[in-house]
Amino acid sequence: MQPVRWGILSTAKIGRVKVVPGMMKSPLCDVVAVASRDAQSARGMAEELGIAKAYGSYEALLADPEIEAIYNPLPNHLHVPMTLAAAAAGKHVLCEKPIAITADEAEQLKRAASQVLIAEAFMVRHHPQWHRARDVIRSGDIGELRSIQIIFSYFNADPGNIRNKADIGGGGLLDIGCYAVVAGRYFFDAEPLRVVTLMDRDPTFGVDRTTSALMDFGAGRQLAFTVSTQSVPYQRVQILGTKGRIEIEIPFNAPPDVPTRIFVDDGSMHGNRSARGIDFPVVDQYRLQGEAFSRVIRGAAPLDYGLEDAILNMRILDALRRSETTAAWERV
């Protein structure tokens, strides 16, 4: 397979530190250019990572005929506008999560998605630990699924950080609540019917800093999550079945340089004593994500999660936000 020629839209930290280095490990991804609003920043990132071309504007990158695919890690309010601009330039787009601010905004991508490939960058769905946990569920080993509990938190009170700016799509729900929603849909293999939310907003920033929610997946299946942008860093997924339990130790930010593990527990002893660990060798989920999308571009694999999936996710995030206002269950 010929490697796909990628262009990187901005010097965003996630791209510079995680996603682009991950992609550059792969023979399927050729990262040929990076753009920034500031030419010097673009050159700095190009030099740091060994990228051949640096552009001082996003438009110049989109006009480069050599580039086939764009990675878009701009702040959330620019996901749809710049994905549309990239698509208009004939480029496929891997766009960071959440794909938009609202489902209606994400719908604007529909026509473009019939001309180029557009996908939302949920790298977690490429990690073998997620695949294995789902295999264990499907095997019936933990019985019927009843409940999923998710915590995802970090501490970031920097007023300059995009997560703390309400007008550009900040807040915990959009930043990390979206992972809880994806996890529920992935492990239950179903869509939630209704949701209810409790949000605590930062009094200065106005963004939600701690959000908890209950999601009803029907047939007695419940998901409860807490995400927080101003709590001690922690993350865990617990999946409870009638006969067993699965725990994913580092479910979202699985490191690219140390092994990860999940536990499968038949519950016969308390305190994790009956939990069996399953280890996963070192793997870079961002590399896997870049490779998967490159294969789809080359027609070597189907697009497992395209725009429709991203819009469904946004509809759930919309319902979670509506519930803050109505203080009631909201249908999705």
Ligand X SMILES: NC(=O)c1ccc[n+]([C@@H]2O[C@H](COP(=O)([O-])OP(=O)(O)OC[C@H]3O[C@@H](n4cnc5c(N)ncnc54)[C@H](OP(=O)(O)O)[C@@H]3O)[C@@H](O)[C@H]2O)c1
The closest alpha carbon to 74, from 36, 130, 30, belongs to 36
Q: Which residues contact 278 (CB under 8 A, 6 or more apart)?
A: 132, 261, 262, 263, 264
Q: How far is the CB of 302 from ligand X (least distance, A)?
A: 22
Q: Which residues contact 96 (CB under 8 A, 6 or more apart)?
A: 12, 14, 72, 73, 74, 79, 120, 121
Q: State which residue, 153 or 222, has the beta carbon closest to ligand X.
A: 153
Q: State which residue, 98 or 192, has the beta carbon closest to ligand X.
A: 98
Per-residue binding letters, 102-131, with ligand X (x by CB under 6 A): -------------------x-x--------
Contacting range for ligand X; rule: CB under 6 A; set: 33-41, 211-219, 222-230, 320-328: 33-41
Q: How far is the CB of 178 from ligand X (least distance, A)?
A: 8
Contacting range for ligand X; rule: CB under 6 A; set: 10-18, 25-33, 62-70, 313-321: 10-18
Is residue 162 close enough to count as binding ligand X by CB under 6 A? yes
CA–CA gap between residue 228 and residue 299 (Å, rounded) = 39
Is residue 37 close enough to count as binding ligand X by CB under 6 A? yes
Region 169-228 residues binding ligand X, contact defined as CB under 6 A: 175
Candidates 6, 10, 100, 109: give the one binding ligand X (CB under 6 A). 10
CA–CA gap between residue 251 and residue 285 (Å, rounded) = 11
CA–CA gap between residue 138 and residue 88 (Å, rounded) = 41
Q: What six digits make up the tokens of 289?
A: 């994500």
Q: Is the dihedral of CA 88, 90, 91, 95 positive or negative?
A: positive
Is residue 36 close enough to count as binding ligand X by CB under 6 A? yes
Residue 76 contacts residue 98 (beta carbons within 8 Å): yes
Per-residue binding letters, 54-93, with ligand X (x by CB under 6 A): -------------------xxxx-x---------------
Q: How far is the CB of 226 from ligand X (least distance, A)?
A: 19
Binding site for ligand X (CB under 6 A): 10-14, 36-38, 41, 73-76, 78, 96-97, 121, 123, 162, 168, 175
